[in-house]
Amino acid sequence: MTDAPVLPSTGYVFVANAGTAMPTLPISNPKVPGAGWRSIGNTSLENGISRDVDGDDPEVLGSWQNPALKTTRPTKTRSLTINLLDFTVDAYSLYYGGGVVVGPDGTTPATESDTVKAFQIPATSVPQERALLIVAVDGEYQVVEHYAQASITGADAIEYDPTALAEIPVTATALSHNGAAYTGTISERLKYTD
């Protein structure tokens, strides 16, 4: 067995339409994983991507004759929190759950030619379903995570702290796409450069 520790010195996070397939591994250019994937921009160096698992722990059930007869298989929900640094209409859509991109007057829907855009925060938040791709880079190695369908919505509050970069925290909950028996795929540490 080869040692495979990972020190993710850089990384890239992308979204695409729900159901977008994972690029062929290894990804030759971690900044450009393939057609359909859009970068969500800069993410926090201070607050890396964190993972959470929600659900009951397995419980051992027994009988009088066999105290360890069966172990339950409780449902687990897995989610990732990503702290976005780029204040763009795409980031706002993920955080606020939908909304409308408007032009410089703040009310008229934006057009391709608008150089200034704003975002109307929706009265009712609707989690945004996207495919999610994370490429963690450790020198000449990478670890790739792919979620064909993730429900993304705002996590904690956005704070303007004059001593730190402002962050837009979003949580992506991994979902099963089209009834698949799994919610995501993660690669082993792969060498991607010669």
pLDDT band at 4 (very low <50, low <70, confident <90, very high): confident
Q: Are 103 and 110 in contact (CB under 8 A)?
A: yes
Rounded Cα distance between 34 and 123, Å, is 35
Closest CA to 72 of 86, 87, 57: 57
Helix, strand, or coil (residue 170) = strand
Q: Are 37 and 20 in contact (CB under 8 A)?
A: yes
pLDDT band at 3 (very low <50, low <70, confident <90, very high): confident
Say if residue 176's pLDDT is above 90: yes
State pLDDT tens for residues 155-164: 989 999 999 9
Q: Give me 52's structure tokens.
A: 């959470």
State pLDDT tens for residues 106-119: 899 999 898 899 99
State pLDDT tens for residues 32-48: 999 999 999 999 998 88
Across the chain, the runs of DSSP E, i.e. the strands, are 10-17, 38-39, 50-54, 60-61, 70-71, 77-84, 100-102, 118-120, 128-138, 141-154, 168-174, 185-186, 190-191
Say if residue 1's pLDDT is above 60: no
Of the chain, the percentage scoring pLDDT greater than 90 comes to 71
Please report the pLDDT score of residue 74 as a whole number: 79
Please report the pLDDT score of residue 41 as a whole number: 95
Q: What does the pLDDT average to over 121-141?
A: 95
Question: Cα 188–15–26 angle (5° rounding)?
Answer: 30
Helix, strand, or coil (residue 90) = helix
Which residue is listed with tokens 């990503």?
Answer: 82
Closest CA to 25 of 132, 142, 138: 142
Rounded Cα distance between 102 and 186, Å, is 37
Rounded Cα distance between 169 and 167, Å, is 6
Q: What does the pLDDT average to over 183-190?
A: 95
State pLDDT tens for residues 52-108: 888 778 888 888 889 888 888 878 889 999 999 999 999 999 999 999 999 999 899
Q: Give me 39's structure tokens.
A: 């970068």
Q: What does the pLDDT average to over 179-187?
A: 92
Please report the pLDDT score of residue 65 as a whole number: 87
